[in-house]
């Protein structure tokens, strides 16, 4: 079955830029230092909002949204972002679990 084509507001380069930004924040700190993200990207004309749920051993994605300049939700882009972040967070949790096993 062929992949479903999704038309997004952001192009692939911009989406990669957002996920790289989130990755740097996520992997650049300890679990206790992780903060939610609410940032405007004027060059892309969007607002990025990411909320985490932080447990004792793992973090989970509570919400991830991309809003346009009028603060309206951009559904397709938000869905793509959530999909990418879920994999990123799974990787983060796995890495943290492996690090704890070696301590």
Average pLDDT over residues 15-27: 96
Q: Answer with the residue of higher pLDDT: 31 or 1.
A: 31
Cα–Cα dist 81/57, whole Å:
23
Segments making up each domain of the chain, as ranges = 35-102
Q: Which residues of 39-67 are buried (b: 16+ CB within 10 A; e: fewer)?
A: eeeeebebbbbbebeeeeeebebeebbbb
Q: What is the pLDDT of residues 39-93, one digit of tens each?
A: 999 999 999 999 999 998 899 999 999 999 999 999 999 999 999 999 999 999 9
Residue labelled with tokens 């972040």? 85
| CA atoms of 61 and 71, how far apart (whole Å) | 21
pLDDT value at position 1?
58
């Amino acid at each position: 079955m062929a992949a479903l084509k999704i038309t997004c507001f952001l192009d692939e380069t911009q989406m990669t830029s957002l996920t790289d930004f989130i990755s740097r924040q996520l992997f650049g700190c300890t679990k206790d230092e992780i903060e939610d993200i609410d940032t405007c990207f004027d060059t892309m004309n969007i607002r990025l909002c990411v909320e985490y749920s932080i447990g004792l051993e793992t973090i989970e994605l509570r919400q991830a949204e991309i809003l346009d300049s009028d603060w309206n939700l951009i559904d397709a882009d938000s869905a793509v972002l959530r999909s990418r972040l879920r994999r990123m967070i799974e990787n983060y949790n796995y890495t943290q679990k492996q690090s704890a096993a070696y301590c």
